[in-house]
Structure formats: structure tokens, C-alpha cells
């Protein structure tokens, strides 16, 4: 896959698209988990998002994408102070990856050829200031999950092995996708995702036909197709940039905070992370829509994606937590 399918050409799946846009506006939201049926365009959307994201400035050659020369870690041995712009990194964490590859490890080549002890940065380093994408996240091996949990929490990767002692920043937006049939996710990992979205194959036949038509048009003549959707993609990108600027000026009134808290209490969401994410997501949405104040309407729109995976899970509730959230939102916010 050389060129990514344009983000704006994805048919339907509005929840998923919106959640991804929100994380692009506020990376501190903590990522998205996309769970759902096969063949619904989960990975397509992630790749599309990568192409949509604005560029970042980094020091040339810096393995952890530092913004300023003073942030470049010493072990990287980079002299240059020159900065370049590059696309936001979106790093794939493939299944079956080794621990070494994730955290970084001793650079064997240098060790063998020069007898030097040097650090070879891993995927976590490359994903700094960008996105870390895990497809089939529920099949990830336990020891890799443990590792990720720790880093996603602290924003720092600490490597203490093979006589190396290295730490470097690893702040990334975690994007996971998976198919619930293959197994569920550990609650600890679930909690690390800011937003969670359930996707489903479109029910409407016309929508399905449109999906096939667009996919076909894209694969038969990618150039034309991209030209058709480029303006729309650009529009979304500009709105994201604008929203980032406006994010800090979105006013949050006291009653809204109370609403957040009430909602979380009514749902029995664990911890305070729920409130915080709800608030952040609401603000990001307000900024995206160009509204100056956080309103109840914003909370209502983001509550299902921000809270559904934080409920004290009732494994036997068939209705699905998203429905439960929607119900409670109606009750609390009216």
C-alpha cells in the first residue's frame, strides 16, 4: 500500500472518524481504541489519519523526534542543531514483535564490529510525539502489553538491560484496533485509551455499495481519486490546526464540570480519568466546531466514546456499554 486512502473518502463510521480527529486536536486525550467487525475499515482509517496529520518540526536525525536541539538525548550522538519538518510519525507495532524491537536494545552490529556498547532505539523512540498503532491489539502478547502500559503511563521509556541504562521520552498517542471475537482486552490496557469506538459494518445497502465503489475507484485510478478528495482532506487538516490553536481558549463553566462529575458518578466509572477525558474530549470537540464555550451538547456527543470502556465492566451486559452510556447521558443531562 503506497498511497493511503483519503480520510474524507471513508464512508460512514462517523464516530470513529470523529474520535480520531479529536486525538489529533488534543494528543493528551490518550489515544483511540477501535473495536469491531472485520472489514470495516479500521486500519484504513488509521492509515488515512496518518496522511492527514500536520507536519512536526524535529532536529534532523534525532531518533526520538526532539523538537529542540537541547532535548536530543546524549546517546543519540547528534551534533547538528538543524531542524527539519517531517510528517507526524505513525509507527506500526506488529504482532510478533520482540521486546528488543519495542524498547530498543543493545546495538549488536556496533557491539560486534567495534566492541562498543551503544543503544539502538526501538519503536517507542520512533513513535515519540506521534502515533503508535497496534492492529489486533487484543492478540498482543502479555509481556509487550506490560511494557506498553508502563511507558504509556509515564511517557518515558526506561531501558535497563544488557548493561545499558537509558531513558528517553516516549509520548505517543496509542491507537489500537481489534476484533472482539478474538479475545478481550485487559482492563488496565483498556483504561490507557482515552476514547473507544465500536465499529460495525454498515447496515444500509446503499452505503455498502458506496464503500465498494469508492474502494474500486481508488484502486483502479488512485491519482484521480486522490485529486477528488484532496480538498476535503485539506479542509479537515486546516480545521484540526485551527482547533489546536483555539483549544486553550475554550471556556469551561462550573456547571459543566458538575455535569461531567455527575455523569461519571451515575455511570460508576472507575477513577477520575473518566471525568478528565470527558472534559478534554468535549473541549476538543468544541474547538473543532469553532464554539467558544463547552456546552452540554458537546459532552453528550463525546460521552459514549470517552466513557463506554471505563465502566466497571459488567461482563454479562449484552446491551453493550455504549448504549448504557447513552441512556445515562439522557437521564443526567436531559
Partner 1 sequence: MSPGQLAWERACCALDLLAANPKRLRGMTVRARSGPVRDVFLEALTKRFGTIQKIHPAISRDALLGGLDFTETLATGRIAKTKGVLERDGLLVLAMSERCPPELAAIIGARVDADDEFCVVLLDEGSEPDEAAPTAISERLAFHVSLDGIGRLEAKPPPKRRSSGDLDEHSLIGRKVGNDPARENLTRLAAKLGIDTLRIPYLALHAARAHAILEGRSDPNSEDIQKAAELVLAPRALHLPEPETPEQAPTESNPESKSNSDGETISDDMLIEAVQAALPPELLENLRNSQTSRATGTGAGQRKKGNRRGRPIPSRPGRIDGKSRLDIIATLRAAAPWQAVRGRLPDGPLKIYPSDIHLKRYEERSDRLIVFAVDASGSAAMARLGEAKGAVELMLARAYATRDHVALIAFRGSEAELLLPPTRSLVQTKRRLAALPGGGGTPLAHGLKAAAELGQRAQVQGLTPTLAVLTDGRGNIALDGSANRAAANTDAETMARWIRSLGIPAVVIDLGNRPQAALATLAATMDAKYIPLPRATAERMHDALETAMDHGLGT
Q: Applying CB under 8 A, which of residues 70, 85, 163, 255 lies at the interface with partner 1? A: 163
Of 264, 330, 322, 250, the residue nearest 293 (C-alpha): 250
Distance between CA atoms of residues 214 and 221, nearest Å? 10
> Total residues contacting partner 1 (rule CB under 8 A)?
55
Q: Does 323 bind partner 1 (CB under 8 A)?
A: no
State yes or no: is 38 an active-site residue.
no
Calculate the CA dihedral of residues 108, 109, 112, 116 and round it to 10 degrees: -80
Distances (CA, A) of 212 to 65, 217, 218, 294, 312: 38, 8, 10, 38, 39
How many residues in the chain? 334
Q: CB of residue 75 vs partner 1: minimum separation in angstroms?
A: 14
Closer residue to partner 1, CB minimum distance, 183 or 292: 183
Q: Is 165 in the site for partner 1 (CB under 8 A)?
A: no
Task: Indicate which single residue of 37, 55, 238, 330 sits in contact with partner 1 (rule: CB under 8 A).
Answer: 37
Judged by DSSP in three states, 39 sits in: coil
1 binds partner 1 (CB under 8 A): yes
By CB under 8 A, tell whether 38 contacts partner 1. yes
Which residue among 56, 217, 266, 333 contacts partner 1 (CB under 8 A)? 217
Q: How many CB atoms lie within 10 A of CB 284?
A: 29
> Among residues 47 and 298, whose Cβ is nearest to partner 1?
47
Between 115 and 255, CB nearer to partner 1 = 115
Phi, psi of 33 (to 5 degrees): -115, 125
Output 96 or 255, the one with its CB closest to partner 1. 96
Candidates 22-30, 201-209, 241-249, 280-288 — which segment interacts with partner 1 by CB under 8 A? 201-209
Query: What is d(CA 108, CA 87) in angstroms, rounded to the nearest whole number?
Result: 29
* Minimal distance, residue 203 CB to partner 1, in Å: 9
| 251-310 residues near partner 1, rule: CB under 8 A | none
Q: Judging by beta carbons within 10 Å of its beta carbon (0-12, 13-18, 19+), is residue 79 exposed, middle or buried?
A: exposed
- What is the per-residue binding string for partner 1 in 88-127, x denoting contact by CB under 8 A? ------xxx--x------x-xx-xxxxxxx----------
Q: Which of 161, 273, 296, 324 is catalytic?
A: 273
| Residue 183 touches partner 1, criterion: CB under 8 A | yes
C-alpha pair distances (Å), 136 with each of 15, 172, 235:
19, 18, 31
Query: Quick check: 201 binds partner 1 (CB under 8 A)?
Result: yes
Note whether 160 binds partner 1 by CB under 8 A.
no
Residue 276: all three cell numbers together: 478528565
Locate all alpha helices (DSSP H) within 178-320, ordered by sequence: 187-192, 205-220, 222-246, 254-267, 273-289, 296-307
Stretch that binds partner 1, among 215-223, 238-246, 256-264, 275-283 (CB under 8 A): 215-223
Query: Which grid coordinates belong to 258?
Result: 458538575
Joined grid coordinates for residue 314 = 459488567
Q: Indicate the residue among 48 and 250 with the shorter CB distance to partner 1.
A: 48
By CB under 8 A, name the one of 15, 26, 135, 198 that touches partner 1: 135
b/e per residue 202-216 (b: at least 16 CB within 10 A):
beeeeeeeebeebbe
Tell me which of 67, 158, 215, 324 binds partner 1, using CB under 8 A.
215
Active site residues: 273
Residues that bind partner 1 (CB under 8 A): 1, 37-41, 43, 94-96, 99, 106, 108-109, 111-117, 135-136, 139, 141, 143, 162-163, 179-184, 201-202, 205-206, 208-209, 211-213, 215-217, 219-221, 313-318
Amino acid at each position: 500500500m503506497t498511497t493511503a486512502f483519503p480520510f474524507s473518502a471513508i464512508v460512514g463510521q462517523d464516530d470513529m472518524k470523529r474520535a480520531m480527529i479529536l486525538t489529533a486536536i488534543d494528543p493528551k486525550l490518550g489515544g483511540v481504541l477501535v473495536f469491531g467487525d472485520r472489514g470495516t475499515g479500521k486500519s484504513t482509517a488509521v492509515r488515512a489519519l496518518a496522511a492527514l496529520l500536520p507536519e512536526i518540526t524535529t532536529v534532523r536525525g534525532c531518533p526520538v523526534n526532539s523538537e529542540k536541539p537541547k532535548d536530543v538525548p546524549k546517546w543519540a550522538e547528534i551534533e547538528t542543531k538543524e531542524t527539519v519538518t517531517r510528517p507526524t510519525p505513525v509507527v506500526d507495532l506488529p504482532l510478533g514483535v520482540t521486546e528488543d524491537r519495542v524498547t530498543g536494545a543493545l546495538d549488536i552490529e556496533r557491539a560486534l564490529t567495534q566492541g562498543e556498547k551503544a543503544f539502538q532505539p526501538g519503536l517507542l523512540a520512533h513513535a515519540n510525539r506521534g502515533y503508535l498503532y497496534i492492529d489486533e491489539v487484543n492478540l498482543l502478547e502479555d509481556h509487550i502489553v506490560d511494557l506498553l502500559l508502563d511507558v504509556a503511563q509515564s511517557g518515558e521509556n526506561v531501558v535497563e538491560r544488557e548493561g545499558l541504562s537509558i531513558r528517553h521520552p516516549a509520548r505517543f498517542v496509542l491507537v489500537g484496533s481489534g476484533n472482539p471475537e478474538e479475545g478481550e482486552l485487559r482492563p488496565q490496557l483498556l483504561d490507557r485509551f482515552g476514547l473507544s469506538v465500536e465499529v460495525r459494518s454498515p447496515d444500509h445497502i446503499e452505503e455498502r455499495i458506496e464503500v465498494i465503489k469508492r474502494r474500486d475507484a481508488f484502486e483502479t485510478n488512485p491519482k484521480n481519486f486522490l485529486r477528488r478528495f484532496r480538498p476535503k482532506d485539506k479542509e479537515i487538516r486546516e480545521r484540526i490546526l485551527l482547533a489546536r490553536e483555539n483549544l486553550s481558549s475554550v471556556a469551561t463553566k462550573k456547571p459543566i464540570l458538575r455535569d461531567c462529575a455527575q455523569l461519571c458518578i451515575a455511570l460508576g466509572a472507575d477513577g477520575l480519568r473518566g471525568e478528565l477525558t470527558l472534559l478534554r474530549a468535549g473541549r476538543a470537540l468544541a474547538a473543532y466546531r469553532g464554539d467558544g464555550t463547552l456546552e452540554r451538547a458537546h459532552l453528550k456527543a463525546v460521552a459514549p466514546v470517552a466513557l463506554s470502556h471505563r465502566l466497571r465492566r459488567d461482563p454479562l451486559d449484552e446491551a453493550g456499554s455504549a448504549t448504557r452510556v447513552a441512556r445515562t447521558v439522557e437521564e443526567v443531562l436531559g
